């Protein structure tokens, strides 16, 4: 498939001054210059005044204009952190929170974790002296569980609001309430509310617990700033009682857009061809390629390396650097590092590079026009990850990344007439995902009436109802839909999906929490097994060493335990670097994805700490995998499926027809009854992470759900 540069549509004609980004960072003087040259720098004073004069402010500015990195510093300098208060900035994505905090720490010339820090799930880089705190939107929601008034913050900046992640939407509702209560406190010195900002009983007497919360806490009014790249600010403005909004102009050079002549059957291949066409035929400048996820990025990384080796020595100066959310954080900053003189960098990114992070030096963008998104089937209540076409807004954002420092080029790997068919913008996540997680959190925050909650856009009643039912079945709610004690509270405390939280609690009763901790950690990362296209057979053989006839969960435990044993052997007397290097080699030999494994090991130690704090009993079932499988059945009973005569499966919860994914160890065996953890929709409904169970366990271990299901109790 060759890519022809058919049409030549010029978009985005606004011009501005050229800036030269010097890659020799670490030199504060250059950083000072860079900061001054950002578009936002010219309006620092006005912005600070706006924030001072408005309770809520909406800021719309082009990507790369300096909103995320600069505004918090301006506010810090303007005294918004007096009395030890903190400026919080939320991001939808982990990588953005981490890389931007690192950059800002560098700009402020402070150590990361001191004045500037970040906090994301499973990784906290803050201290008592942190004043500018980057975090994920999900994390701030969790903080509200412990500190319902978010009392340590003077300013909260909700960044990337246009993304409309489910956490952003819930957070906006929460912040609106908190802001109101805090300004009431400001007026009268006390707040008339019963037990928290969200209880809705605003006229009740002050409860003892609330007074205790207020004791010694001085609430400054809460400043809210909603920030985004491309959005219509009116909707946000209306939601926040006609809040003011400002635009920050960016600079944008023209970007030529090229399309393919025909639809490409293999966009990965077409992308690689385009990378090398640019590399061999175009002038200097780095390339940014938008891909859908870790697995795809790693495959492309491998293919690029292979092609480079086939080039004549003089043409080999190309370096591929990946960036995606589960990349170990010490590797994330590599995209910002300069490459040696004469080399060209090709950045392989998920849509993290669309608006969240701006990487200097990009002149070429390759956009297959796809993105991995959560979708939710309202009827079945099942959520899955699907690769879908981007919206027009996303496509325009992506191409814009090529024109930040000079005129650029964007290659869309689809025909021009496809562009017109794209949706204008993306549907907010709250309308297309499973709500169980946020419903649980809202309940824990004291919001009992979920339907009545002041969402900017209400999720459908039916999906709220589905989530309430699911939480009821998991035992997180009582019959009258209140948070149950202790299970509901414990589940809300764990930074995990309700089903995984439940699994840990159940496992402590089945004496196999050791095994479940490993399982949940391994399930929390993408693709533990490394399966390069050109070595599929070898990787299949390597996987056999670990595979268990009982299913993928135990197979994952085997991988984890083998890595434990290996580390045990080499640990003594080795430096940390040496251990890492050896682990990487071990992973390579065993076709294990070392990045994923490291990430899983990290998550494991974090959740282990959580369950220890909760006082759960951490025991191992040893070789008794029968009780572990029973525990899986008791935890994931909502994801059980029965084999049908033709070899497909029928999900018991909703009748959906599904198939075991070819990568599962049970792909051939096809046992009668299974539980699974993930549904991937491509042309088929594939289920991944599958384990064999006995169908009779279901009515025994989950009678609340299966007692009356004839098909099960009958067999």
Nearer CB in complex with ligand ADP: 343/667: 343
- Provide, rounded to whole angstroms, the least separation between the CB of residue 92 and ligand ADP: 13
Q: Which of 3, 12, 38, 213 is in the footprint of ligand ADP by CB under 6 A?
A: 38
When CB distances are held under 5 to 8 angstroms depending on the partner's kind, the choice from ligand ADP, Mg ion, none that residue 38 binds is: ligand ADP
Write out the two tokens for 406.
Answer: 């000079």
* Residue closest to Mg ion (Cβ): 68
Angstrom distances, CA of residue 66 to CA of 40, 227, 486, 542: 6, 11, 45, 47
Q: Binder to ligand ADP among 47, 59, 64, 132 (CB under 6 A)? A: 64
Walk across the sheet containing 286-290 and list its strands: 9-11, 255-260, 408-415, 362-367, 286-290, 344-349, 318-323
Question: CA–CA separation, 486 vs 238, rounded Å?
Answer: 39
Q: Which of residues 339-368 bind ligand ADP (CB under 6 A)?
A: 358, 360
Q: Is 67 a binder of ligand ADP (CB under 6 A)?
A: yes
Among 43, 60, 63, 324, binds ligand ADP (CB under 6 A): 63
Binding partner of residue 64 among ligand ADP, Mg ion, none, CB cut-off 5 to 8 Å per kind: ligand ADP
Shortest distance, CB of residue 140 to ligand ADP, whole angstroms? 18
Chain position carrying tokens 């299949």: 540
Q: Which of 66, 92, 233, 428 contacts ligand ADP by CB under 6 A?
A: 66
**382-389 and 370-377 beta bridge pairing:** antiparallel
For residue 38, the minimal CB distance to ligand ADP (Å) is: 6
- Closest contact distance (angstroms) between CB of 305 and ligand ADP is 25
Report, in Å, the least distance between residue 634 CB and Mg ion: 44
Q: How far is the CB of 606 from ligand ADP (least distance, A)?
A: 25
Which residue lies nearer to Mg ion by CB, 403 or 459?
403
Q: Where does this chain touch Mg ion (CB under 5 A) — which range of 60-68, 185-193, 414-422, 465-473?
A: 60-68
**One-character DSSP codes across 381-448:** TEEEEEEEEPPHHHHHHHHHGGGSSS-EEEEEEEEHHHHHHS-SSPPPGGGSS--HHHHHHHHHTT--
Residue 66 binding target from Mg ion, ligand ADP, none, CB below 5 to 8 Å by type = ligand ADP
Closest CA to 39 of 12, 75, 71: 71
> Is residue 162 a contact residue for ligand ADP (CB under 6 A)?
no
Burial class (CB in 10 A: 0-12, 13-18, 19+), 569: exposed
The site string for ligand ADP over 319-338 (x = CB under 6 A, - otherwise) reads: -----------------x--
- Interacting span for ligand ADP (CB under 6 A) from 66-74, 170-178, 420-428, 581-589: 66-74
By CB under 6 A, residue 65 contacts ligand ADP: yes
DSSP string of 316-372, one letter each residue:
--EEEEEE-TTS-HHHHGGGGSPPPTT-EEEEEE-GGGTTT---TTEEEEEE-SEEE
Name the residue among 288, 344, 335, 286 with its Cα closest to residue 316: 344
Q: How far is CA 308 from CA 3, 312, 334, 348, 433, in A?
A: 19, 8, 20, 16, 41
248 vs 690, beta carbon nearer Mg ion: 248
CA distances, 570 to each of 563, 593, 595 (Å):
11, 19, 19
Q: Does residue number 390 form part of the binding site for Mg ion (CB under 5 A)? A: no
Is 394 a binding residue for ligand ADP by CB under 6 A? The answer is: no
Stretch that binds ligand ADP, among 64-72, 179-187, 324-332, 642-650 (CB under 6 A): 64-72
Question: Cβ 55 to ligand ADP, closest distance in Å?
Answer: 22
CB of 405 to Mg ion, least distance (A): 17
Instruction: Identify the residue among 44, 47, 69, 274 touching ligand ADP (CB under 6 A).
Output: 69
Question: How many angstroms separate the CA atoms of 86 and 131, rounded?
Answer: 4
Q: Are 345 and 371 in contact (CB under 8 A)?
A: no
Residue 691 · residue 632 · CB < 8 Å:
yes
Longest CA span, the chain = 79
Choose one: 61-69, 269-277, 324-332, 663-671; the region binding ligand ADP (CB under 6 A): 61-69
- Establish if 99 lies at the interface with ligand ADP (CB under 6 A): yes
Annotate 110-121 with b (16+ C-beta within 10 A) or e (fewer).
Answer: bebbbbbbbbbb
Candidates 34, 56, 68, 390: give the one binding Mg ion (CB under 5 A): 68
Q: Cα separations (Å) of 617 from 91, 557, 601?
A: 35, 19, 20
In angstroms, give the least distance from the CB of 403 to ligand ADP.
Answer: 13
E strand or H helix at 633, and its extent?
helix 625-635
**Residue 99 site contact among Mg ion, ligand ADP, none (CB < 5 to 8 Å, cut-off depends on kind):** ligand ADP
For residue 139, which of 125, 131, 70 has the smallest C-alpha distance? Answer: 125
Q: How far is the CB of 525 from ligand ADP (least distance, A)?
A: 24
Long-range contacts from 708-711, C-beta under 8 angstroms, 24+ separation: 709/652, 711/642, 711/652
The yes or no reply on residue 68 touching ligand ADP (CB under 6 A) is: yes
Residues that bind ligand ADP (CB under 6 A): 38, 61, 63-70, 99-100, 103, 336, 358, 360
Residues that bind Mg ion (CB under 5 A): 67-68
């Amino acid at each position: 498939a060759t890519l022809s540069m058919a049409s030549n549509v010029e978009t985005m004609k606004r011009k501005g001054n050229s800036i030269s980004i010097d890659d020799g960072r670490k030199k504060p003087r250059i950083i000072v210059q860079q900061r001054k040259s950002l578009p936002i720098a010219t309006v620092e004073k006005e912005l600070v005044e706006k924030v001072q004069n408005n309770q809520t402010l909406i800021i719309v500015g082009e990507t790369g204009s300096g909103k995320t990195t600069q505004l918090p510093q301006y506010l810090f300098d303007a005294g918004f952190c007096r009395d030890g208060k903190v400026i919080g900035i939320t991001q939808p994505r982990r990588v953005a929170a981490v890389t931007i905090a690192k950059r800002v720490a560098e700009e402020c010339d402070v150590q990361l974790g001191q004045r500037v820090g970040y906090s994301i799930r499973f990784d906290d880089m803050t201290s008592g002296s942190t004043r500018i705190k980057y975090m994920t939107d999900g994390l701030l929601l969790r903080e509200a569980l412990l500190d319902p008034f978010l009392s340590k913050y003077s300013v909260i900046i909700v960044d990337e609001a246009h993304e409309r992640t489910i956490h952003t939407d819930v957070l906006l509702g929460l912040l609106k309430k908190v802001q109101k209560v805090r300004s009431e406190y400001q007026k009268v010195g006390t707040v008339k509310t019963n037990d928290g900002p969200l209880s809705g009983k605003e006229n009740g007497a002050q409860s003892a617990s609330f007074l205790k919360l207020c004791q010694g806490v001085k609430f400054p009014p809460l400043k809210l700033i909603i920030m985004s790249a491309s959005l219509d600010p009116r909707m946000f403005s209306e939601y926040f009682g006609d809040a003011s909004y400002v635009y920050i102009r960016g600079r944008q050079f023209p970007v030529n857009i090229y399309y393919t002549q025909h639809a490409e059957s293999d966009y990965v291949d077409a992308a690689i061809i385009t990378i090398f066409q640019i590399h061999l035929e175009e002038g200097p400048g780095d390339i940014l390629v938008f891909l859908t996820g870790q697995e795809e990025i790693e495959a492309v990384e491998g293919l690029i390396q292979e092609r480079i080796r086939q080039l004549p020595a003089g043409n080999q100066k190309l370096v591929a650097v990946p960036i995606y959310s589960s990349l170990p954080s010490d590797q994330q900053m590599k995209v910002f590092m300069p490459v040696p003189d004469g080399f060209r960098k090709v950045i392989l990114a998920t849509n993290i590079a669309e608006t969240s992070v701006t990487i200097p030096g990009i002149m070429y963008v390759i956009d297959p026009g796809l993105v991995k998104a959560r979708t939710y089937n309202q009827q079945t209540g099942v959520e899955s990850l699907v690769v879908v076409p981007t919206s027009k807004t996303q496509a325009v954002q992506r191409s814009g990344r090529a024109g930040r420092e000079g005129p650029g080029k964007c290659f869309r790997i689809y025909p021009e007439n496809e562009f017109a068919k794209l949706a204008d913008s993306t549907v907010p996540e709250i309308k297309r995902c499973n709500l169980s997680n946020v419903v649980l959190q809202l309940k824990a925050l004291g919001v009992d009436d979920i339907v009545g909650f002041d969402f900017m856009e209400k999720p459908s009643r039916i999906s709220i109802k589905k989530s309430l039912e699911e939480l009821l079945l998991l035992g997180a709610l009582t019959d009258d839909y209140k948070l149950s004690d202790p299970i509901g509270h414990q589940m809300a405390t764990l930074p995990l999906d309700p089903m995984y939280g439940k699994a840990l609690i159940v496992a402590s009763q089945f004496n196999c929490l050791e095994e479940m901790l490993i399982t949940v950690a391994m399930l929390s990362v993408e693709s533990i097994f490394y399966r390069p296209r050109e070595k599929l057979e070898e990787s299949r053989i390597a996987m056999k060493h670990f595979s268990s006839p009982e299913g993928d969960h135990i197979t994952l435990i085997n991988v984890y335990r083998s890595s434990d044993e290996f580390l045990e052997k080499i640990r003594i007397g080795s430096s940390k670097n040496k251990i890492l290097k050896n682990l990487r080699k071990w992973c390579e030999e065993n076709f294990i994805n070392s990045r994923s494994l490291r990430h899983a090991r990290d998550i494991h130690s974090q959740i282990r700490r959580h369950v220890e704090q909760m006082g759960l009993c951490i025991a191992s079932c040893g070789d008794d995998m029968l009780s572990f499988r029973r525990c899986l059945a008791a935890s994931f009973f909502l994801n059980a499926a029965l084999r049908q005569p033709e070899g497909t499966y029928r999900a018991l919860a909703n009748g959906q027809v599904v198939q075991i994914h070819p990568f599962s160890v049970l792909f051939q065996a096809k046992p009668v009854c299974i539980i699974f953890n993930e549904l991937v929709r491509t042309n088929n409904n594939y289920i991944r992470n599958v384990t064999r169970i006995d169908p009779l366990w279901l009515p025994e271990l989950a009678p609340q759900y299966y007692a009356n299901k004839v098909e099960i109790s009958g067999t």
